[in-house]
Amino acid sequence: MNGFLPISKQDMTDRGWYYCDFLIVTGDAYVDHPSFGTAIISRVLEDAGYKVAILSQPDFRDEHDFLEMGRPRYAVLINGGNIDSMVAHYTSAKKRRSDDAYTPGGVGGKRPDRAVTVYSMLARRAFPETPVYLGGIEASLRRFAHYDYWADRVMPSILESTGADGVMFGMSEHSVVELANNLKHGKKGADACKGVRGTAYMVHDTDDLEYDAVECPSYEDVCASKPDYARSVKIQYDEQDAVRGKAILQRHGKRILVQNPPAKPLTTEEMDHVYALPYMRNYHPSYEALGGVPAIQEVQFSIIHNRGCFGACNFCALAFHQGRYIQVRSHESVIEEAKKITQMPGFKGYIHDVGGPTANFRFPACKKQEKYGCCKDKRCLFPTTCQNIEADHTDYLELLRELRHIEGVKKVFVRSGLRYDYMMAEKNDAFFRELVEHHISGQLKVAPEHMSDNALYYMGKPSFKVYEQFRERYARINEKLGRKQYLVPYLMSSHPGATLDDAIMLAQYLNRVGYMPEQVQDFYPTPGTLSTAMYYTEIDPRTMKPVFVAKTPEDKAMQRALLQWRRPDKRPIVIAALKKAHREDLIGFGKECLIRPGRGNDQRMPGSKQHSVSRHGVSNGGRPQNNDRRHSAPNNDKHSAPNGKRPTSRPAQSKPNQGKKSGWAKPKKKK
């Protein structure tokens, strides 16, 4: 018998079980690693004394797989996987993906569209009398009435559409144990959720609420009125705080959705305990013959040290899922995990990441948050850094130093979600210097997302001047250390509020510094973000003022093409975009021109020497490019996964341009 939890009747028999307390159904393959939400919740329940079985990627054509391990004693718990099943299946252009990193062998199609909904119906069919509760990112972000990008309409709460008894939103270690204990003591259905923080449920009246509540516009109202939809989202965001947040009510016909306040953040001691549970740190061995589970490659030798993000970008679901309050593990806990990693097969001395939603957050933004919660109508880093913020990397730097000195560790990398604006808020350069010297390998990836302050305003990001200051400081430190390392920016096109003129402004900047990105992310309207509310309503929920939104395929293609204006296949779109914006002055032979008025495949850049194009349509020194950077959500939501890591595999390492020298990427020499 191996150390994994049972995934079959035979596994249960080998353990001497004739029943399980909870059956966890997931759209992912079973990977027993703390970067996977299913692994954490199952181990937390096991630690609380419950028998847990895992049903991963069941056949969704009928309920046969649900019946194999028998009816669970208390409940079926369902999640769609580490990322939303619709994001897993479709690009931002709604094109079907061919692969799935969370499936054995990377094969696509092993989970259904809207996996939580399908699995819930099958669970009800298999076990009519057994409670069903939902969790994970897919259910969490659909707990209220929400705009669905794929159906292009407002849909009701996932509780209404699935008929489930309740949903656990956010990080659910506290919620799931309290819910389990209520079920154990005889509570049933929605009653088991009453009073449990971090849960939502449906009722016919609100006579016995245990928390003060506010009401947001009903499902019927948000379907009929876009301003009501925007107001609804604003209320939901305002109350997403474990300290000051109230319960929220939303009517759906004759029933009322009740969302209790968010669960209390885990203390450092609780975080340490969760990450010390007996994870096998790998996928189930039954997947080996199928090629393994590709998603493990990104996290197998990585460490999560924190949760939450007070950056709260508008396009990221983290604020609505994990919250803005920072939770951290102790140094001892992280070091203990690192020592385990050094003993794992295949470890070659490199810890790939020591991060989380935002790698360099080790404390709440300010001391006020501990007592009063996060400010309702203010952001910590937007539009400028709050005067109360305590930007201090001392603790994180000390943790990295300790990890570097563990026997068997050659290098410790920091790769996920550095907030450069937070780094710039600290006057001390000690962390910046050691990051450049010890914790990156040739290039550092950060996410300015755009350079137009108009676009950045709607994204909830600071002015581009902050990035420019960061870039200059990065260049100076590299020069002082004698390093030639690059800065690789993530950029986003077609975000609500970003106009064609903004895209042209960014293209001009990229041309000026001699850099063309290999990856550009089209804005992806996933449920549960302020940006998605802007996309649907064309209203900014923060101000209730109108917002321009690039919605048509033509408008979105133009903004994206402008960010990659050198690519031969983008030439007709770039020319059309410049003409539409009446910027024909950028079509020509001058240094400031984006594109020359040549024909066919003649793609010499203005003012450049002869520039050849290969038969593959890739300029000299280039290579075919993958332009679909999947977000948490996000995580880099940037669509955030339940574990706090970026929800999908990162893009391939992008090399700086090999043609024209890049003022963006390369450190400059002093004159």
C-alpha closest to that of 21 among 99, 70, 75: 75
Other Cβ atoms closer than 10 A to 270:
15
In the block, residue with structure tokens 């004698």: 482
Taking the CA atoms of 189, 192, 198 and 200 in sequence, report the sign of the dihedral they define: positive
Alpha helix ranges (H) inside 482-520: 500-513
Shortest CA distance to 136 belongs to which of 56, 26, 6, 284? 26
- In angstroms, the CA 231 to CA 533 distance is 10
Tell whether 313 is in a known binding site: yes
With residue 166 as reference, give the H or E element that holds it: strand 166-168
Token pair belonging to 104: 């054995």
**First CA to last CA across the chain, in angstroms?**
67
Cβ-proximal residues to 372 (8 Å cutoff; 6+ apart), any chain: 243, 244
Cα 40 to the center of its chain, rounded Å? 18
Distance separating alpha carbons of residues 429 and 138, to the nearest angstrom: 40
Let me know: does 166 contact 112? Beta carbons within 8 Å: no
Ligand-binding annotation for 223, yes or no, is no
Question: With b meaning 16 or more CB within 10 Å and e meaning fewer, what string describes 185-220?
Answer: eebebbbbbbebbbbbbbbeeeeebeeebeebbbbe
Residue 601 burial (C-beta neighbours within 10 Å; 0-12, 13-18, 19+): exposed
Beta strands 166-168 and 199-203, pairing class: antiparallel
Tokens of 570: 């983008």
Distance from C-alpha of 148 to C-alpha of 386, rounded to nearest angstrom: 34
For 105-225, where are the alpha helices, taking DSSP H only? 115-126, 136-140, 158-162, 173-184, 219-224
CA distance 287 to 102: 11
Q: Residue for token digits 């948490």?
A: 632
User: What is the tally of helices (H) and strands (E) in the chain?
Assistant: 24, 24
On whether 380 is known to bind a ligand per the annotation, the reply is no
Query: Where is the binding site, in residues?
Result: 309, 313, 316
Would you list which residues are annotated within the binding site for [4Fe-4S] cluster?
309, 313, 316
